[in-house]
Amino acid sequence: MLIATGLTGAMALSACGGGSEDSEGGEASGGSGRVVFGESTDFPENLYPNIAAGNATSVANVLIKVLPSAYQVQPDFTVEFNEDLFTGEPTLEEVDGQQVNTYEINPDAVWSDGTPITADDFEFTWRANRSGDPADGGCPAVLSTTGYEQIASVEPGEDEKTVVVTYETPFADWQGNFENLLPSHLMDADDPAAVCETITEGWPIAEGLPEGISGGPWQVSNIDAGAQVIVLEPNPEWWGDGPQLEQLIIQNIGNDPTTAVQGLQSGELGVIYPQPQLDLVEQVQALEPNVESEINFGLTFEHLDLNTQDPHLADPLVRQALAYALDRQEIVDQTVGQFSSDAQVLNNRIWLNTQPEYEDTAPEQVKTQNVEEARALLEQAGYTAGPDGFYTHPERGPLDIQIDTTENNPLRQTTIEVMIPQLAEAGINASFNANPDIFAGAESPTSLEGGGFQAALFAWVGNPFITSSQSIYQTPQGDNIQQNYSRIGNPEIDALFAELATEPDRERQAELGNQIDGLLWEQMATIPLYQKPTFVAHQANIEGVQDNPTEAGPLWNSETWTVE
């Protein structure tokens, strides 16, 4: 019923659209055919990608070909410059002892309202992300300042189509900057406080993007929040190749395997990208040859975040005990190991199992379940076991830990259901909670950013840029926690990240990253579980679909898709 209702809404919307002409008479370059993408993650609340409320996979899937980026991560984890946005590859040089990058913007590059894309957009994107401190003209709502805080200036070169970026300190991952370029003509203001207000509010889903703006091949043409449908149509001002389709319809289907399989079987869904689980994978593979599918391992990992502001979890002995009580191999065996023999326990947060830099940095005590050691740690922390075997502290009360996670996610529910009896063996009374607001902004008290949780199970979606994890683990600065939802810091970790940001040598980067992870194990504020597999399936008559198991996601090349 859900899929039928949702797709009826989607098709009704698409019937109103199609390739159209803009007010200036420019004709959309879209081809023919429509594809419905079944979005299995939560429907977006906000489309602004640089705040907590918009930091979601569903938002990234919408924006990947709407807002331009300087570079794009490829399926093999390499990065390539945006050949549509620039006339040639951006340059890196040293000028007067400073790192300088120069970008030459395509003369034809314009926003969907006809405004040229210029150095002003790069300068505003830098300014909107460089600081979380209002005293410095920054904004606390910004998720990460890494890469932008190292920049001294962003200025036009010989003309407005040349961008010269000068760094105050070297930044090795400079290719990761200027992702999701922002339209300065629609967002900038003279008053930094006004800019911060715009950033903090973001782009609520009911309002869409400012004036439907786009700098890529697709633009958002319609949003039906009730039906959870977002319709993309060709950007009439797009200067590059494609899109080859008339419409790309993003329909939220939730993470229900039955809905996904029935949608593919009936032809109502063209492409799905759900979290894989055994029944789903088997049922989809049974639809061959009409449906094609593949499993990959990308740069995403599942983990447990422990909130160190919680009275129990503020104690490092309790965090250690919780980690010692888990049997992570059993968690893998009962979840992703059910459909992939390549799945294994992850013992590093900076590098993942399939990366050559990966090193097992975990202490021996967490490599197998250690119930007795966990109990000893709790007793050392002042806890005593009651008649039911669960521990209580004289001041903190019963050791009850609620583990929050996303709604309608069977794989995560299974993960927590495996954890609960494991933790019970060590006297920790854990419970499951599907939190609808887990990824909401700070205004929601139970969200990650709001801090009203004890433990949270979710995934970090990564990319090849080693410094991208800095905002997760560096010390919070006042109210600006960036993405450090555990709310804990270590000056030594901060110093290593600072060194990492300036280090161009990959071998030395590997050493620094593994040193950082060793210190993260000492903190025990996050517990990695496993590198997540991805699973993409599509109708065999849709050409061009290729998994990109990074933050770029399944729609990374959607402008090239065709329907036979």
In the chain, the percentage of residues whose pLDDT exceeds 90 is 89
The residue-averaged pLDDT of 317-341 equals 97
Confidence label for 12 from pLDDT (cuts 50, 70 and 90): very low
Q: What is the radius of gyration, based on Cα positions, of the chain?
A: 24
Q: Any idea of the CA torsion for 122, 181, 512, 522, to the nearest 10 degrees?
A: 130
Question: Using an 8 Å Cβ cutoff, are 172 and 505 in contact?
Answer: no
Q: Using one digit for the tens of pLDDT, what is the confidence trace for 446-458?
A: 999 999 999 999 9
Confidence label for 25 from pLDDT (cuts 50, 70 and 90): very low
Confidence label for 30 from pLDDT (cuts 50, 70 and 90): low
The residue-averaged pLDDT of 498-512 equals 96
Per-residue confidence (pLDDT) for residue 20, from 0 to 100: 31
CA separation for the pair 30, 355 (Å, rounded): 38
Q: Using one digit for the tens of pLDDT, what is the confidence trace for 250-293?
A: 999 988 889 999 999 999 999 999 988 888 999 999 999 999 99
pTM equals: 0.85
Q: Using one digit for the tens of pLDDT, what is the confidence trace for 108-133?
A: 999 999 999 999 999 999 999 999 99
Other residues' Cβ atoms within 10 Å of the Cβ of residue 42? 22
Q: Is the pLDDT of residue 463 over 90?
A: no
Confidence label for 480 from pLDDT (cuts 50, 70 and 90): confident
Enclosing H/E stretch for 419: helix 410-425
Per-residue confidence (pLDDT) for residue 479, from 0 to 100: 82
The residue-averaged pLDDT of 412-430 equals 98
CA separation for the pair 500, 510 (Å, rounded): 9
Q: Is the pLDDT of residue 32 over 90?
A: no
Q: Is the pLDDT of residue 15 over 50?
A: no
Q: What is the DSSP string of 178-244?
A: S-S---HHHH--SSHHHHHHHHHH--BTTT-SGGG--SSSEEEEEEETTTTEEEEEE-TT--SS---
Q: Using one digit for the tens of pLDDT, what is the confidence trace for 524-549?
A: 999 999 999 999 999 999 999 999 99
Phi first, then psi, for residue 383 (nearest 5°) are -90, 150
Least confident window among 466-470, 477-481, 556-560: 477-481
Q: Is the pLDDT of residue 48 over 80?
A: yes
Map out the domains of the chain with their CATH numbers.
2-69+202-296+533-563 (3.40.190.10), 71-190 (3.90.76.10), 298-532 (3.10.105.10)
Average pLDDT score, the chain: 93
CA separation for the pair 52, 43 (Å, rounded): 14
CA separation for the pair 292, 90 (Å, rounded): 37
Q: Is the pLDDT of residue 1 over 80?
A: no
The residue-averaged pLDDT of 309-318 equals 99
Q: What is the DSSP string of 500-523?
A: HHH---HHHHHHHHHHHHHHHHHH
pLDDT: is 480 or 209 the higher one?
Answer: 209
Per-residue confidence (pLDDT) for residue 98, from 0 to 100: 96
In the chain, the percentage of residues whose pLDDT exceeds 70 is 95
Confidence label for 216 from pLDDT (cuts 50, 70 and 90): very high
Question: Using an 8 Å Cβ cutoff, are 338 and 278 in contact?
Answer: yes
Other residues' Cβ atoms within 10 Å of the Cβ of residue 290? 11
The residue-averaged pLDDT of 287-302 equals 95
CA separation for the pair 302, 326 (Å, rounded): 14
Other residues' Cβ atoms within 10 Å of the Cβ of residue 79? 17
Highest mean pLDDT among 276-280, 415-419, 550-554: 415-419
Question: Using an 8 Å Cβ cutoff, are 437 and 52 in contact?
Answer: no
Q: Tell me the CA end-to-end span of the chain in Å, nearest whole number.
A: 28
For 288, counting Cβ atoms within 10 Å of its Cβ (0-12 exposed, 13-18 middle, 19+ buried), the class is exposed
Question: Using an 8 Å Cβ cutoff, are 48 and 54 in contact?
Answer: yes
Confidence label for 207 from pLDDT (cuts 50, 70 and 90): very high
Its sign, for the CA torsion 289, 291, 292, 298, is negative
